[in-house]
Amino acid sequence: MAMGSAASGGADRAAPSILCEIAGRARLRAQLAERAEPSVRLRDRALALAQRERAGAGPPSPPPFERALAGEGLSLICEVKRASPSKGVIAEEYPYLEIARGYEAGGAAAVSVLTEPEFFLGEDRHLSEIAAELSIPALRKDFVVCERQIYEAKLLGAGAALLICALLDDGELRAFAGIAGELGMSALFEIHSEAEAERALRAGARIVGVNSRDLRTFAVDFALSARLRGSIPPGALAVAESGVRSPADIAELRRAGFDAALVGESLMRAPDRRRFLGELLAAALPEGAAS
């Protein structure tokens, strides 16, 4: 997984080089996919799916992913991930569907599924198979650089798409979030600074994810998460991303006021994922609440 030079264009020129490299590869894949099926055709299929889902529905309500994170205590988004640029292969054996089933049975509010193929060894079919089987919503964890990826996420069964503020300019953030909303999906805006929090909120973010991992050094700083939590006003859900290793971390994030936490590597490496998830969920409950 060698890292190359930064890709050019857009907001990612100021982003860490690894993020730029991943985004550049995502653009190349999107260009190749465009030849096989133009985005306009993909859009029409995604909109038709959304219209079928809305047919006969009652009054508008928040998308399922947003509703799933708004429960009592701190909700958990459990990640299905085979590898990462910083840690290499995390799971040599990767029964992704079995892992996702275990998360749902163990009490996860939602799942996050890596579909990025080069740095995280994900595949689109992992998401489509998981979304077809589970009743809890799924986040497509990928690096969105163009609108066709939002349409893809819908057609793969995702309930939410990730928008990384370091990769996208203000117009793209608004446009991509608008497309997600039109398709009945949530947008999870990922931030790493107060300035990015402001940009996300200007773009209409309803779910803001604070990435506590510095993509330049890969160090995790929960103090940064706690500080940035203060930049997210009431009315928007706050999600802590990256670096959760223990129930104590979950308790710390709950006390800091987060609504949800995304847990990936520590769950994937746990010898008994179901038991570890139970320990995390116990720590996620409000003080004095019965488990």
Q: Where are the domains of the chain?
A: 15-54+63-284
Give the residue carrying structure tokens 């859009």: 43
Q: Can you tell me the distance from the alpha carbon of 142 to that of 152, in angstroms, rounded to the nearest whole number?
A: 11
The token pair at 253 is 């994030």
CB 13 within 8 A of CB 6: yes
Contacts of 123 (CB under 8 A, 6+ apart): 115, 117
* pLDDT 10s digits, 155-172: 999 999 999 999 999 999
CATH of domain 15-54+63-284: 3.20.20.70
pLDDT, position 74:
96
Q: Can you tell me the distance from the alpha carbon of 219 to that of 53, in angstroms, rounded to the nearest whole number?
A: 42
- Which of the following is catalytic: 186, 242, 252, 265? 242
Question: Is 211 noted as a catalytic residue in this protein?
Answer: yes
Region 220-244: mean pLDDT is 90
Question: Is 190 noted as a catalytic residue in this protein?
Answer: yes
Q: Can you tell me the distance from the alpha carbon of 163 to that of 204, in angstroms, rounded to the nearest whole number?
A: 12
Question: Is 79 noted as a catalytic residue in this protein?
Answer: yes
- Which of the following is catalytic: 66, 79, 152, 172? 79
- Which of the following is catalytic: 141, 147, 152, 196? 141
- Which of the following is catalytic: 39, 84, 186, 211? 211
Question: Is 118 noted as a catalytic residue in this protein?
Answer: no
Is the pTM higher than 0.85? yes
Q: How confident is the model at residue 58 (pLDDT cuts 50, 70, 90)?
A: low
Q: Can you tell me the distance from the alpha carbon of 78 to that of 86, in angstroms, rounded to the nearest whole number?
A: 19
The token pair at 167 is 């990769």
pLDDT, position 8:
34
What's the chain's average pLDDT? Answer: 90
Q: How confident is the model at residue 85 (pLDDT cuts 50, 70, 90)?
A: confident
pLDDT, position 12:
42
E strands in 150-243 = 160-164, 186-191, 207-211, 237-241
Question: Is 87 noted as a catalytic residue in this protein?
Answer: no
The token pair at 46 is 């995604």
Question: Is 53 noted as a catalytic residue in this protein?
Answer: no
Question: Is 129 noted as a catalytic residue in this protein?
Answer: no
- Which of the following is catalytic: 21, 116, 241, 252? 241
pLDDT, position 290:
54
CA nearest to 221, candidates 230, 233, 212: 212
pLDDT, position 106:
97
